[in-house]
Structure 1
């Protein structure tokens, strides 16, 4: 971080530390925890008698103060963190649709230790303390999105349907295994926790400035409960609908290589041209949920729950691909950055440019159905749950290209945005173009899961032991992959003969109408590619049809049987402490069916392959919390965790080319990643909404998976096989510091101000595909911080949130050397910040108007090859503004 950012964090931390002199005496009720459906989330048989000073503070208040809004959310989240029996952070929505972000991933980025990637301007994947191997649960039940992996696509779940999110950074024995990074539990609301009949919802419009469109967002929740002759019943139904139009402008500079023919006597590191896609499209997110609860007696609850999430991304890409490798240059045109041998500017001759039109559409559909019971006698509790899930993921990618020869093309890397300009060609004349290649790829994934569990929780009356927990869980998961492929090579035919397939590029404002970029060129009509690909094939005179690629098909089935035992302990005298120690034992059985492709003498054969793998894992864990004072507590934790390889990595599919001695594929022999973990957290709670904390962590991960090449002999032929493999151990270590408070000691109206802030530092060392070479974890920033300025008073709620992450390693690239061979160099993504804000005003106690903004700085993301004078990728996304209303009846 630079000096300004360091000062920024320092001032915020100083404000937090200095603000606890006068405690705030507001109390609130957390009505978000619910029911008997959260069996996977750790529960405490005995809690602290929260805390003696808090009780004295409460006694001093003549009347209870009802807390709502941001304060209620912070108070509930802080209470969950403070009383949990492990290290956990939470986000809580005090009311329907009031998480601070519409995207679940973006809400998670506010938590210390979490870093998110960006996907077309919104939150994408999540890493906890540098590890992307994260398990996601919904009300304590493991959920997943089909697609070759094991995780759940958090983009699928609308944030409006959530009561909150808990992030478990250390495990307990009763937590489902599978996430060495941690567990993210999405919590929904339950009808018996609501106040009778509740009807609430929201209606908003979202404006995206680059694409210049407005999209709708709406949510609705209806919940009620009744006292009947057979007990108390409750029913809750909820739904959310979100649309988002988007646009991304991307300038990708080609990978570098060394050239000795550009400037006499010098070796110049020169990029291979550039790639200029303009991406636009729409996304639709649908979420539906229903929960029924029935308590025939005060001790027994029966429930049923159903959920459905659908995520659809419809996307077009249009632009130019301009490869320059091997092209001669105009003599004297090449310049380098000062003091380097890195190419800065130059003019290439006789460039063959490709214009492209692409459709890339993805569809996720997830269904969950659960039923169970919760029998609670106080000293003994028995819970059971059964869940069925079905998920599908479908990708449709279609591309059609044109080719055109450009006499002179100038690549200029000196400006804020690299550019490529053309001379000597008329891009507006279709007769100057030739047909390029046409391709279509479809990936179809399906997944099913059946899971049942039974858990017992028993109190123990002794000076040390306070409880015992035990349980068993059985899950059967299956997944299948079917790829469909089509490829038509480029031809020499003039594109003028196929005018119905092409149109002039519909956008003329690429990178804010930068005049240097080529304009007016032709691209494929994307509606034809998406809606009527058969007519495209007919127009081209191609009889071949898209067909299943049998070598890449696979079908896998996995059965896990897990059991755990956990002891809870508590000591109230002297140095007060409590905690748990336990062990989880899991037997995993995996069956894989796939195929292997081999080409000999021009003849391709497909051979079925079957693999089976069984193994047992023993995962101990221990968590202890010391109550140093009523406000100060220290947590220590030690545990072992695992994450199983992704299904796509386990695929037995191989493509073998004997003539070249080359092969590639998956690896069904992969072993799980396993981690030894140590954690500590010092937490100081000075008011219901005020706290500061300092946490440290260490992870030793065994068996990191990366792609490697090795020699194998198959049917008497020697091959160099590229496939994923387990590597050596890696380590991750770091610290987190943060806190939150409202400045209640200030005079009105300034007592409505508050702040949240956190900072994370992570250092890592992991094996790579290069022998005896270690790198940081890909996608991991060493430093990241969040700071939110808050104001809440007189019905007005304001939040301004800034998130920053430092540079991180994206990948390794093999730089071809002029003298032969290659040198591996890193690709880094430069650090960047993201600014969001929201304003809410309560017109009445039941109606709130909202105004929200995302990506207000319109952040540019920038990657580079080892040095910033070797740019790789520059992209810019929409600024988003939302306005609307929320209501609660």
Structure 2
């Protein structure tokens, strides 16, 4: 109901705006005239600022052969956004993720991360019409890595033509850079700004950019050169509350209720540096022209986090008699205790993560044109790399109790003075664990294409285009082994008297283990809205000091271990490394593509309602290879006195296995436009599209295992084999096919003024071969040559579905309003997307009865609740059914301003991801073999709740050369909420607060 009201408000505002346009429709395609022009002479009106940007973008959309939305540089500069990602969310049909990574919903991204178009994340990225990507195992660019100051414009294509490079089912985002011949002569500009972040204690972050361009006439032709440099820093802080998943427990009366094992809080300090360099050379003479461009973007981020989190067994939690519950039995208020463990065990970690990424693009283009012929050839080489170190050091503390109030908009953890004093005392803490993760990736591509165009002198045929494109790409991604290397320093479950155990925890009160910690006070938490206690955390230097600091901390365990037994019984700490034999952590891929296309452009201009368009066919062949590895091991009994089920005799092995995969696709496309008038036109588009799997999904590492359930008869020594299980896990699947779509679009476009338009679109994308993580069969021979089927869990082309809906967009300036009011304008757009995903019948749907397992092998595709039940079919990920933008514009004289609000409804983030999956669930299915057992695998779907954010900008032009601007993000200090789906409802999982950001910007044009 809440979402419906917001949507109704948005549509209502848009409708009011259109009604107001009755007074402003007189803002015709003729610009307002001045009174001081000589009679009979045309009036030259120079439109600048944000209005000029909107006019340019609208013209691109109106005149394009395809369905496209555009943003031009002036518009981008005026938007209240600090990254290309944030800029894109203003476009109708485009949404952005606000977590740092798809598999890590626990960490919020202030500037946004991934981009979806019409609810689909199959988005292809280009730089000047050429491939562009980041070295992260995916196929598209991390738009947040690109300095927006280097970008002259962005085009978002939503239905392809044959001449466009394949790979975009959701859509294509093309970043355009400036060229020297874009300017009449010398051009130079400088800009500098400072960003203030509300939660960063008044600290500011600088940004600088500069561009210089010129062109000259020489004896060898006209020559142009351009150089553009950009540097920016950003520092933000995010505060978060989290509630653990709800587990079925018994209250004091024996009734089943659902209670989280605790609630927690954290704060994250984020800092990033972004550098960009772009250079371009242009030359033209007679029929020849050529260009050479160089583009380099560098991105470095580091975040430091202090987080406290519950880690007790959920089934040891007791809830106070005065606890209250909702109608489904979920806890609302109450005090949690854990008598079995002497209190609720919490981990208190200091985590630091550093990543450095870069993308380099070098491209050369040559064009020849004579008479009706145009031939263009293009060569590109792109190189991308990234590497990261993620390090966590934790203390631990046992809290006597935790009092919760989960009834408000944000959860409350209620603390007494005694609670606060307890948490502030270092003597109550012990050294708990370390965890590190390393990764590094490199990707390269060389691409060549040649396009030929012939212009017809014909009343119907416009031109015919055909071309060829070849690519050679390789990508190597390495993750450390072990991947996330968790290692205990001292844990409650290690305390005991046996060999390898410890007599007690490594408490900070022990002089041998004291020091290197600090009391973190969580000042101004949630922007002052919530008060939480100070907590003792490890110093950040310990996390940043890996591996030396880790080695020192693990000597604490050795000291304790030796008190219980000989030194040889103490397990040695092993740090994570890449290693030459790290087959599980290495993903080595190569891919070659060959593409041919032909496209005919046509038009009937003499009809009452002129029609034009293009018809084309693209053929592409893909050849890929993966350097893989397969491991088989068995714990089933062999030989001896066996009875019962026969055990296949397969010898354990570890071997290299290379994979070759090739496929080809025909991709037809049709784009039609009907012009009712110069202002009103309709479009129809139909096309086939594909999106290849990410390289992370194509990894060729597979582990196969043979296990058996047995029973022994001590009388006769016979071991009876009750059952044999042949299973496996595929980290990826090198034999995946691309996801394909058949898509239709129909639009109405009314351009009633240079910056006034109303457009509406309906679309339908029918998807095939969606990649899902489910089961497939792999065979191994036994020693006699007989093949045996292994049920392997991994990525498969296992589903079909659709994404369909509509878009509406409106923009207008109200020129006919009196005086200063004539500078007012408005933008509004709304997108509705409905989606569905259906599994193929051949895909085996597992139930939530996996037994004792530490991974997600046996989890249902739609997730498993903590009570052992599953959920219904889920929609496509990252898809919001409703999205809208509302912006109030002002552009008059020396002032340009914008007040912009962006909102999207809730969307599925992922299933079985960090923080919402584990192995301590309870199976309550009486038909299950693990009925009543704990330590059963579970994993929940996580959702981003509906979220809206208000941003603003204002620029004042002192002269034609000097401009001062102010930008502000998140003016309403919105809280981002994450949900976890359980059978008792959509429960609140996390709440994130980032505060406001304000930017002061000064620019100078020469």
> Normalising by structure 1, what TM-score?
0.92
Q: 1:676 aligns with which of 742, 745, 750?
A: 742
Give the corresponding residue for 1:791.
Answer: 890
- Displacement of 1:605 after TM fit? 6.3
Change (3 A) 1:570 1:25: closer
Give the corresponding residue for 2:630.
Answer: 596
Q: 1:357 aligns with which of 350, 362, 377?
A: 350
Q: 1:434 aligns with which of 415, 430, 433?
A: 430
Change (3 A) 1:869 1:415: farther
1:12 lines up with 2:23 in the alignment:
no
Report 1:420-499 matches (<5 A): 420=413, 426-485=422-481, 486-491=485-490, 492-495=505-508, 496=510, 497-499=512-514
Q: 2:970 aligns with which of 852, 855, 862?
A: 855
Give the corresponding residue for 2:577.
Answer: 547
Give the corresponding residue for 1:781.
Answer: 880
Aligned-partner Cα distance in 2 for 1:758–1:707:
35
The more displaced of 750-759 and 661-670 is 661-670
Give the corresponding residue for 1:637.
Answer: 685
Q: 1:367 aligns with which of 348, 352, 360?
A: 360
Report 1:256-267 matches (<5 A): 256-259=246-249, 261-267=250-256
1:830 lines up with 2:830 in the alignment:
no
Change (3 A) 1:825 1:203: closer
Aligned-partner Cα distance in 2 for 1:170–1:707:
28
The more displaced of 269-278 and 729-738 is 269-278
Change (3 A) 1:484 1:276: same
Deviations 1:58-116 (A, max 9, x none): x9972211111011101100000000001000011238945553311111111111111
Give the corresponding residue for 1:40.
Answer: none
1:566 lines up with 2:562 in the alignment:
no
Change (3 A) 1:421 1:96: closer
Deviations 1:121-147 (A, max 9, x none): 112111000111101000111100011
- Displacement of 1:767 after TM fit? 3.0
Aligned-partner Cα distance in 1 for 2:985–2:957:
48
1:580 lines up with 2:573 in the alignment:
no
Change (3 A) 1:577 1:772: farther
Q: How many aligned positions are there?
A: 855
Aligned-partner Cα distance in 1 for 2:585–2:266:
29
Instruction: Give SS of 1:426's match.
Output: helix
Change (3 A) 1:4 1:808: closer
1:317 lines up with 2:319 in the alignment:
no
Instruction: Give SS of 2:333's match.
Output: strand
Change (3 A) 1:78 1:100: farther
The more displaced of 865-874 and 678-687 is 865-874
The more displaced of 864-873 and 242-251 is 864-873
Is 1:651–1:667's contact at 8 Å kept on the other side of the alignment? yes
Change (3 A) 1:88 1:280: same
Aligned-partner Cα distance in 2 for 1:291–1:457:
25
1:628 lines up with 2:676 in the alignment:
yes
Instruction: Give SS of 2:321's match.
Output: coil
Aligned-partner Cα distance in 2 for 1:108–1:478:
29
Aligned-partner Cα distance in 1 for 2:255–2:680:
64
Aligned-partner Cα distance in 1 for 2:455–2:288:
18
Instruction: Give SS of 2:552's match.
Output: helix
Give the corresponding residue for 2:994.
Answer: 877
Q: 1:198 aligns with which of 180, 187, 206?
A: 187
Q: 1:522 aligns with which of 529, 536, 542?
A: 536
Give the corresponding residue for 2:82.
Answer: 102
Is 2:73–2:153's contact at 8 Å kept on the other side of the alignment? yes
Change (3 A) 1:718 1:501: farther
Aligned-partner Cα distance in 1 for 2:31–2:975:
42
Is 2:234–2:273's contact at 8 Å kept on the other side of the alignment? yes
Q: Which runs of 5+ in 2 are unaligned?
A: 33-38, 100-108, 491-504, 556-571, 637-650, 709-724, 783-787, 840-860, 863-869, 926-930
Q: 2:61 aligns with which of 74, 81, 87?
A: 81
Q: 2:409 aligns with which of 416, 425, 448?
A: 416
Change (3 A) 1:103 1:26: farther
- Displacement of 1:513 after TM fit? 5.1
Q: 1:335 aligns with which of 318, 324, 331?
A: 324
Structure with bigger strand share is 1
Give the corresponding residue for 1:48.
Answer: none
- Displacement of 1:488 after TM fit? 2.4
Q: Which runs of 5+ in 1 are unaligned?
A: 29-58
Aligned-partner Cα distance in 2 for 1:447–1:828:
32
Deviations 1:361-398 (A, max 9, x none): 12211100011112233522111110111101212111
Is 1:26–1:66's contact at 8 Å kept on the other side of the alignment? no
Aligned-partner Cα distance in 2 for 1:516–1:62:
67
Give the corresponding residue for 1:800.
Answer: 899
Aligned-partner Cα distance in 1 for 2:790–2:267:
40
Give the corresponding residue for 1:501.
Answer: 516
Is 1:146–1:445's contact at 8 Å kept on the other side of the alignment? yes
Q: 2:235 aligns with which of 245, 248, 263?
A: 245
1:385 lines up with 2:391 in the alignment:
no
- Displacement of 1:599 after TM fit? 4.6
The more displaced of 383-392 and 741-750 is 741-750
Aligned-partner Cα distance in 2 for 1:742–1:138:
32
Is 1:99–1:160's contact at 8 Å kept on the other side of the alignment? no
- Displacement of 1:656 after TM fit? 4.3
1:306 lines up with 2:294 in the alignment:
yes
Is 1:92–1:99's contact at 8 Å kept on the other side of the alignment? no
Is 2:268–2:306's contact at 8 Å kept on the other side of the alignment? yes
Aligned-partner Cα distance in 2 for 1:11–1:356:
47
Instruction: Give SS of 2:908's match.
Output: strand
Is 2:71–2:154's contact at 8 Å kept on the other side of the alignment? yes
Aligned-partner Cα distance in 2 for 1:441–1:784:
36
Is 2:272–2:299's contact at 8 Å kept on the other side of the alignment? yes
The more displaced of 491-500 and 631-640 is 491-500
Aligned-partner Cα distance in 2 for 1:680–1:384:
33
Give the corresponding residue for 2:369.
Answer: 376
Instruction: Give SS of 1:62's match.
Output: coil
- Displacement of 1:525 after TM fit? 1.6
- Displacement of 1:452 after TM fit? 0.6
- Displacement of 1:10 after TM fit? 2.0
Is 1:784–1:806's contact at 8 Å kept on the other side of the alignment? yes
Aligned-partner Cα distance in 1 for 2:980–2:806:
29
Is 1:471–1:563's contact at 8 Å kept on the other side of the alignment? yes
The more displaced of 421-430 and 842-851 is 421-430
Aligned-partner Cα distance in 1 for 2:530–2:186:
59
Give the corresponding residue for 1:155.
Answer: 144
Aligned-partner Cα distance in 2 for 1:503–1:823:
35
Is 2:438–2:577's contact at 8 Å kept on the other side of the alignment? no
Give the corresponding residue for 2:502.
Answer: none
The more displaced of 89-98 and 223-232 is 89-98
- Displacement of 1:239 after TM fit? 1.0
Deviations 1:596-647 (A, max 9, x none): 3445469996422210001111100000100112211010000000000011
Aligned-partner Cα distance in 1 for 2:809–2:70:
14
Give the corresponding residue for 1:62.
Answer: 42
- Displacement of 1:528 after TM fit? 2.8
Give the corresponding residue for 1:536.
Answer: 550
The more displaced of 245-254 and 617-626 is 245-254
Deviations 1:22-68 (A, max 9, x none): 1345669xxxxxxxxxxxxxxxxxxxxxxxxxxxxxx9972211111
Instruction: Give SS of 1:703's match.
Output: strand
1:128 lines up with 2:128 in the alignment:
no
